[in-house]
């Protein structure tokens, strides 16, 4: 049915968590006695609203807006806003559900939520994006607050959109509150928030490699998918460490540049001109552009490139079973997820059964939300932290998450399975808080 289709990714995320924590439910009767699973899989509330705005041609446009407030046992609801035509309630429930465990893993006081709209910022003028953001916030402002629910960016929502959303909130409420994170630095943003998810992903991977006694990333060929906020900052940190990131992609195609991708050009193309990756080869004739139409069947060109480490940083289910087979055949040793749930269940099974070092999103990409929480702390104290302080805390947080995940996997007899390690560690903190807070 349509409902089932829409909720497919939500059920996929839910099934993975329940499967992982089954031994815990078996061994600790408190979770069963308190009906934790039944309570945890239903969001506290799903807010759905109409967003009406006027485009540059004076045509009235109608979109749907959402905020899923899933669980606030550990702190205010926290999670991004996604503006993309594929957004629907099921996608946001999946993202908010994942966010609960990710936020729990950080050890910070934040609950899980997610929101967004089916609005597509691509091809819209700045003025149209502003009009849309204003209309979206006209409704959303009723449900958020610095101690209630603090949204951030996600796909299609960067500093520009956060700025317009914040401006509208301030206009409606006259309140200069930290109700959004990912704000530009000049009005309450934290240094390093844009870099946080991508940098955090690489810090996490480094720690995991150390714990696994595997070779570090320096000098290694790495593949990255996506070319947005997460992907480009992951590429940046890989360069800092002396690795060689040779790819990136967008929804239309993939770049393979064997010498290492030109990061400055990519930033300019994606953050300033907002154009397709196709233009890259104009100035880099040695690189290859593979349009989507030429991808292998049921697979993606980016995962066909031989590499030591692969970092999916675009979107959900972008790394299929076939992609996993190709990566494994080409000798991949590490796969760390920058995007949310980018690997299909089949791909994850293949990685785990081939003993590939696999870092699941809810642990590996938690750096963004961690720095968002640092932004909340700075806003609450009306203060600013230095770049070095944020970076140091981010690094420590990612190292702690990696250790927590690795040790939990060992404690529960699933050594090396960081999917289970992350799910169990994330679940325990939330579930224990829910029990302590009563029904």
- Quick note: the x/- pattern for ligand NDP over 134-163, rule CB under 6 A, is -------------------xxxx-------
Q: Give me the sign of the Cα torsion angle 180, 183, 187, 191.
A: positive
In angstroms, give the least distance from the CB of 199 to ligand NDP.
11
Q: Residue 26: CA atoms inside 13 Å, Cβ hemisphere, count?
A: 7
Complex with ligand NDP: residue 160 or 214, whichever CB lies closer: 160
- The residue with its CB nearest to ligand NDP is 228
Rounded CA gap, 233 and 201, in Å?
Answer: 9
Query: Smallest distance from the beta carbon of 388 to ligand NDP, in angstroms?
Result: 20
Q: What is the Cα–Cα distance from 147 to 268, expressed in whole angstroms?
A: 36
Q: Which of 90, 368, 421, 426 binds ligand NDP (CB under 6 A)?
A: 368
Cβ neighbours, 10 Å, residue 432: 17
Do the beta carbons of residue 145 and residue 74 sit within 8 Å? no
Nearer to ligand NDP, 36 or 419 (CB): 419
Nearer Cβ to ligand NDP, position 116 or 138?
116
Tell me whether residue 69 or residue 340 sits nearer to ligand NDP (CB atom).
Answer: 340
Closer to ligand NDP at the Cβ: 117 or 365? Answer: 365
- Stated as kind and residue range, the H or E segment containing 223 is strand 221-224
251 binds ligand NDP (CB under 6 A): yes
- Is 131 a known ligand-binding residue? no
Q: Which residue out of 93, 114, 131, 237 is catalytically annotated?
A: 114
* Greatest extent of the chain over all pairs of C-alpha atoms, in Å: 64
Q: How far is the CB of 227 from ligand NDP (least distance, A)?
A: 4
Half-sphere exposure (CA, 13 Å, Cβ side) for 424? 27
* Contacts with ligand NDP, 255-294, as mask; x by CB under 6 A: ----------------------------------------
Distance between CA atoms of residues 275 and 236, nearest Å: 20
Site for ligand NDP in 187-206 (CB under 6 A): 197
d(CA 76, CA 388): 27
CB distance 359 to 30 below 8 Å:
no
In this structure, is the dihedral angle defined by the CA atoms of residues 383, 389, 394 and 397, taken in order, positive or negative? negative
- Which residues 335-354 are close enough to bind ligand NDP by CB under 6 A? 338-340
User: Would you say 196 and 371 are in contact if contact means Cβ atoms under 8 Å apart?
Assistant: yes
Residues carrying an active site annotation: 114
Binding-site residues sit at 78, 99, 102, 153, 197, 229, 372
- Give the binding site for ligand NDP (CB under 6 A): 153-156, 197, 226-231, 250-252, 313-315, 318, 338-340, 365, 368
């Amino acid at each position: 049915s349509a409902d089932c289709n829409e909720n497919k990714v939500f059920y996929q995320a839910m099934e993975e968590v329940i499967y992982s924590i089954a031994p815990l439910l078996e061994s600790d009767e408190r979770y069963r006695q308190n009906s934790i699973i039944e309570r945890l899989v239903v969001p506290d509330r799903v807010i759905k609203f109409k967003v009406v705005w006027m485009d540059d041609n004076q045509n009235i446009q109608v979109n749907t807006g959402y905020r899923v407030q899933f669980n606030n046992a550990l702190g205010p609801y926290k999670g991004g806003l996604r503006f993309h035509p594929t957004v629907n309630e099921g996608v946001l429930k999946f993202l908010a559900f994942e966010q609960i465990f990710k936020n729990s893993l950080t050890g910070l006081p934040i609950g899980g939520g997610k929101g967004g709209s089916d609005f597509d910022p691509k091809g819209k003028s700045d003025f149209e994006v502003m009009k849309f953001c204003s209309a979206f916030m006209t409704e959303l402002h009723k449900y958020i607050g610095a101690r209630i629910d603090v949204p951030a960016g996600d796909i299609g929502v960067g500093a520009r959109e956060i700025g317009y959303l914040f401006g509208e909130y301030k206009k409606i409420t006259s309140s200069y509150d930290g109700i959004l994170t990912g704000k530009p630095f000049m009005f309450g943003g934290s240094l390093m928030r844009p870099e946080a998810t991508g940098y955090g992903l690489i810090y996490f991977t480094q720690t995991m490699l150390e714990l696994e006694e595997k070779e570090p990333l320096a000098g290694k060929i790495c593949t990255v998918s996506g070319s947005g906020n997460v992907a480009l900052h992951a590429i940046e940190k890989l360069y800092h460490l002396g690795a060689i990131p040779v790819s990136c992609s967008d929804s239309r195609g993939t770049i393979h540049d064997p010498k290492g991708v030109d990061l400055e050009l990519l930033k300019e193309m994606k953050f300033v001109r907002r154009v397709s990756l196709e233009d890259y080869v104009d100035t880099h004739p040695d690189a290859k552009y593979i349009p989507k139409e030429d991808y292998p069947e049921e697979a993606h060109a980016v995962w066909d490139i031989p590499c030591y480490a692969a970092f999916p940083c675009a979107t959900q289910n972008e790394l299929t079973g076939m992609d996993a087979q190709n990566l494994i055949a080409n000798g991949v040793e590490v796969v760390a997820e920058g995007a949310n749930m980018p690997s299909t269940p089949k791909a994850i099974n293949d990685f785990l059964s081939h003993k590939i070092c696999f870092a699941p999103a809810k642990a590996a990409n938690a750096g963004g939300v961690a720095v968002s929480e640092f932004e909340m702390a700075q806003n609450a104290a009306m203060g600013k932290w230095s770049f070095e302080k944020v970076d140091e805390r981010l690094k420590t947080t990612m190292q702690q998450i990696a250790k927590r995940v690795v040790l939990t996997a060992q404690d529960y007899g699933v050594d090396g399975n960081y999917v289970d390690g992350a799910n169990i560690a994330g679940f325990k903190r939330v579930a224990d808080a829910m029990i302590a807070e009563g029904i």
